[in-house]
Amino acid sequence: MGLTDLFSKLIVEHGSAEVQAKHIALFKDQLALADKKAALLESENTILKAENEKLKSDFEQSQKENEILRSKIQEYEQPTKQSSHSELLDKVKVDILVALSRQEQTITEQLAGFLNIGVETSRFHLRELSKKKMVIDNIAPDDDGSFRECWELEHEGRRFLVENNLIS
């Protein structure tokens, strides 16, 4: 083996060692980066597990509250023994129904004066009773040729009064 062959071999081995050193350094960098990513993913996983547990807890609490609300809704939707209507009427509405049971048709202003309440308050309660199909509004001609809103008791209103012994 000649001197040139030894130099060639030395150069090749030195080049291979240098390339190998670069590959090892690159591999170490990639390994360190992978370790950092793994640590970051583990941290993120821990945070997500905690959030998941909180969401599960919140969901269970919501289900319990939902069940309570559903049972309360069922209680309110069941008709009471006192009335065929799902809710009791306040005193003003009951007074309006009683007053309408005594007169065939009543003008809003007359009803307000009779019950000693404001016209708008009377109109409000009459509209609420109308939604429950307990009263009906009609337009009646006045003596001067104009038209006025007047009210009559409907069957549901009469039923309420009879079932609650408010009329005989």
* Secondary structure string (H, E, C) spanning 43-111: HHHHHHHHHHHHHHHHHHHHHHHHHHHHHHHHHHHCCCCCCCCCCCCCHHHHHHHHHHHHCCCEEHHHH
**Residue 2 predicted with pLDDT over 70:** no
CATH classification code of 91-163: 1.10.10.10
Q: Mean pLDDT throughout 42-69?
A: 93
- Asked if residues 115 and 122 have their Cβ atoms less than 8 Å apart, the reply is yes
What does the buried/exposed string (b/e) look like for 33-69 if buried means 16 or more CB atoms within 10 Å of the residue's CB? eeeeeeeeeeeeeeeeeeeeeeeeeeeeeeeeeeeee
Domain boundaries, the chain: 1-78, 91-163
Q: How confident is the model at residue 54 (pLDDT cuts 50, 70, 90)?
A: very high
| Residue (of 168, 149, 154, 68) closest to 108 by Cα position | 149
- How far is 78 from 82, CA to CA, in rounded Å? 12
> Residue 80: left (phi > 0), alpha (psi -120 to 50), or beta?
beta
**Residue 167 predicted with pLDDT over 80:** yes
**Residue 78 predicted with pLDDT over 90:** no
User: pLDDT tens across 108-162, in order?
Assistant: 888 888 889 998 998 899 899 999 999 988 887 777 877 778 899 999 989 998 8
**Residue 10 predicted with pLDDT over 70:** no
**Residue 62 predicted with pLDDT over 90:** yes
**Residue 98 predicted with pLDDT over 60:** yes
pTM: 0.46
- The tokens describing 101, both together, are 């049971």
Specify the pLDDT at position 17.
67
Q: How confident is the model at residue 56 (pLDDT cuts 50, 70, 90)?
A: very high
Specify the pLDDT at position 66.
92
Specify the pLDDT at position 50.
94
Q: Mean pLDDT throughout 47-64?
A: 94
